[in-house]
């Protein structure tokens, strides 16, 4: 049995983290058997290395090894890809085709992103795992296959089972042995090692001196959350290798390449921003919405009164102020108002005519009961959410105008990185 260190050298795995070593040890131990293996871990942690280790150390190493990305195959064709189809089984099926399970007979199939499989395909896969049988699309003939399945996923399988997106029985069939690969942020000691390896590779590729990190840059890398894991680290190493003229990188220079993944929206985080334009505009929005609610209540009261007491001139004169408030001043709408025009059965959906001005009518939210505030908050929640994108665009425009188009100063004021701001400028075509 090969050692962990020998396997890491053979497959180009960098790092000496105990969790990583344990995952490789499990792969070595399970490889000689035919047990199904489920590899779990976040996207970009290198899950594809484990099935290669398992296959190369198994008695199937001379058989075929096929890797299938289940998330990249359209739902309508995935059954055909995995199990094959007969001629004429569907439009475009001009000839009989062998699927991966038939081609890989005697070998190993790696099902990447297995959590993305549609439910009908999961049923077919379960049958293969149970007795090695499958049926081609458009056929009634049962075929046999002898393959070993190694699957991988970056989603929480138990959550997927609760939401009925993944079969529980299939999960337990796949995860006879589960191997978990830790995210990069839990392998802090390996981050600099991986960066040095990538920097060396790109130096050879682009024929230039190797990038080196200063101590403060190394500390910054170890503190960063690395949402994209090893894949993200590799991309940043390549960017720095190509773009930086100085081959020694400090923390300040490195920070320019580390995007803030915490939020996609500009956030005001400074204490002095508490009285900013955003807060004022939000307050005005609430006042307008409270005012609209009050006007709607006034309209209901007036309508009910007119329906109960009749559309007499006395009633109209008595409520002249309220009618003018709802229908506006300077027009003939109030004179033309007639109770017979009201649909009493659909009173709740009456539309309020546009007002000429709302500023003189101050809302009084403090007079609402707790129950009313709760229901009103529910009513405005959707409108407020839908306006976030407009608010974001408006804030970005204001900040760029205030700083005469200087992105760095605008990004600092908005509380986002300059790279995020640049992406937003392209998104909104500013």
Is pLDDT above 50 for 344? no
Inform me whether the pLDDT recorded for 14 exceeds 90.
yes
Mean pLDDT, the chain, whole residue set: 81
Dump pLDDT digits (tens) for 52-61. 999 999 999 9
pLDDT at 357: 42
Beta-carbon neighbour count of residue 188 at 10 Å? Answer: 15
Q: How far is CA 337 from CA 64, 306, 357, in A?
A: 83, 10, 20
Looking only at the bridges linking them, the beta strands covering 177-180 and 212-213 are unpaired
State the architecture of 388-428 in CATH terms.
Orthogonal Bundle (1.10)
How many angstroms separate the CA atoms of 413 and 410, rounded? Answer: 5
250-259 confidence digits (pLDDT tens): 999 999 999 8
Nearest-angstrom CA–CA distance, 226 and 246: 24
Sign (positive/negative) of CA torsion 318, 324, 330, 334?
negative
pLDDT of residue 268: 45
- Residue 103: both structure tokens together: 């081609």
Task: Note the pLDDT of residue 399.
Answer: 83
* Average pLDDT for 324-339: 50
Eight-state DSSP code of residue 71: G
Is residue 337 a contact partner of residue 323, using CB atoms and an 8 Å limit?
yes
Q: Quick check: helix, strand or coil at residue 208?
A: coil
Q: What is the pLDDT of residue 384?
A: 45
CA separation, residue 256 to residues 200, 245, 246, 259, 417 (Å): 21, 15, 14, 7, 8
> How far is residue 180's CA from residue 400's CA, in Å, rounded to a whole number?
46
**Confidence band for 280, pLDDT divided at 50, 70 and 90:** low
- Chain region(s) in the chain for CATH 1.10.8.60: 185-255
pLDDT digits (tens, 9 = 90+) for 96-139: 999 999 999 999 999 999 999 999 999 999 999 999 999 999 99
Using pLDDT thresholds of 50, 70 and 90, give the confidence band for residue 262: very low
Scanning 229-367, the segments in alpha helix (DSSP H) are: 229-243, 251-255, 277-309, 313-318, 320-327, 333-336
Q: Where in the chain is the domain with CATH 1.10.10?
A: 388-428
Q: How many whole angstroms separate alpha carbon 30 and alpha carbon 148?
A: 12
- Distance CA(313)–CA(325), nearest Å, equals 18
List, in order, residues 6 or more apart from 177 with CB less than 8 Å away. Answer: 26, 30, 35, 36, 37, 38
DSSP 354: P
- Max mean pLDDT among 88-97, 229-238, 275-284, 390-399 falls in 229-238
Determine which helix (DSSP H) or strand (DSSP E) holds 24, and give its type and residue range. Answer: helix 18-30
364 is written with which tokens?
């009084």
Instruction: Specify the 3-state DSSP secondary structure of 418.
Output: helix
Q: What is the pLDDT of residues 360-374, one digit of tens each?
A: 444 454 555 555 545
Q: Which range is least confidently modeled, 147-156, 273-282, 306-315?
A: 273-282
Distance CA 196, CA 387 (A): 45
The dihedral through the CA atoms of 372, 373, 378, 382 has a sign that is positive
CA atoms of 291 and 362, how far apart (whole Å): 7
322 pLDDT band (50/70/90 cuts)? Answer: low
User: How many Cα atoms are found within 13 Å in the side-chain-facing hemisphere of 320?
Assistant: 7
How confident is the model over 264-291, as a mean pLDDT? Answer: 58
User: Quick check: 214 pLDDT over 80?
Assistant: yes
Q: HSE (CB half, 13 Å, CA atoms) of 151?
A: 27
Residue pair 299/350 in contact (Cβ under 8 Å)? The answer is yes
Q: What's the whole-model pTM score?
A: 0.59
What's the confidence (pLDDT) of residue 362? 44
Quote the pLDDT of residue 324.
Answer: 61
Is the pLDDT higher at 62 or at 355?
62
CA angle 332, 334, 337 (to 5 degrees): 110
More confident residue, 383 or 404: 404
CA 291, chain centre distance (Å): 37
For the chain, residues classed under CATH 3.40.50.300 are 4-182
Reply yes or no on domain 185-255 having CATH 1.10.8.60. Answer: yes
CATH, range 4-182: 3.40.50.300
If residue 40 lies in a helix (H) or strand (E), which one and from where to where?
strand 37-40
């Amino acid at each position: 049995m090969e050692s962990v260190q020998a396997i890491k050298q053979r497959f180009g795995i960098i790092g000496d983290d105990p969790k990583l070593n344990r995952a490789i040890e499990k792969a070595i131990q399970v490889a000689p058997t035919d047990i199904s293996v489920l590899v779990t871990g976040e996207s970009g942690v290198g899950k594809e290395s484990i099935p290669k280790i398992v296959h190369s150390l198994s008695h199937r190493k001379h058989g075929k090894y096929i890797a299938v990305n289940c998330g990249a195959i359209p739902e309508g064709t995935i059954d055909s890809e995995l199990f094959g189809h007969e001629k004429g089984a569907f439009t475009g099926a001009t000839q009989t085709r062998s699927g991966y399970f038939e081609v890989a007979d005697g070998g190993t199939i790696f099902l990447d992103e297995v959590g993305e499989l549609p439910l009908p395909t999961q049923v077919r896969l379960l049958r293969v795992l149970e007795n090695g049988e499958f049926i081609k699309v458009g056929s009634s003939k049962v075929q046999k296959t002898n393959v070993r399945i190694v699957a991988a996923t970056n989603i929480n399988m138990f959550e997927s089972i609760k939401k009925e997106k993944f079969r529980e029985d299939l999960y337990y069939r796949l995860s006879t042995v589960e191997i978990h690969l830790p995210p990069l942020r839990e392998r802090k000691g390996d981050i600099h090692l991986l960066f040095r390896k990538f920097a060396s590779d790109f130096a050879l590729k682009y024929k230039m001196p190797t990038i080196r990190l200063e101590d403060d840059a190394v500390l910054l890398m170890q503190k960063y959350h690395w949402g994209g894991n090893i894949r993200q680290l590799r991309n940043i190493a390549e960017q720095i290798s190509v773009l930086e003229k100085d081959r020694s990188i400090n923390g300040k220079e490195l920070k320019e390449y580390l995007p803030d993944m915490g939020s996609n929206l500009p956030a005001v985080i400074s204490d002095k921003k508490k009285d900013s334009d955003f807060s004022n505009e939000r307050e005005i929005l609430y006042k307008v919405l409270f005012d609209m609610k009050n006007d709607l209540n006034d309209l209901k009261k007036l309508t009910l009164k007119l329906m109960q007491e009749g559309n007499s001139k006395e009633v109209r004169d008595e409520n002249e102020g309220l009618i003018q408030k709802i229908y506006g001043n300077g027009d003939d709408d109030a004179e033309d108002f007639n109770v017979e025009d009201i649909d009493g059965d659909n009173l709740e959906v009456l539309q309020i005519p546009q007002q000429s001005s709302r500023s003189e009518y101050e809302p009084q939210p403090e007079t609402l009961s707790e129950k009313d505030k709760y229901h009103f908050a529910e009513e405005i929640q959707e409108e407020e959410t839908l306006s976030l994108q407009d608010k974001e665009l408006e804030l970005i425009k204001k900040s760029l105008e205030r700083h005469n188009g200087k992105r760095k100063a605008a990004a600092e004021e908005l509380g986002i990185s300059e790279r995020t701001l640049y992406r937003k400028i392209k998104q909104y075509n500013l």
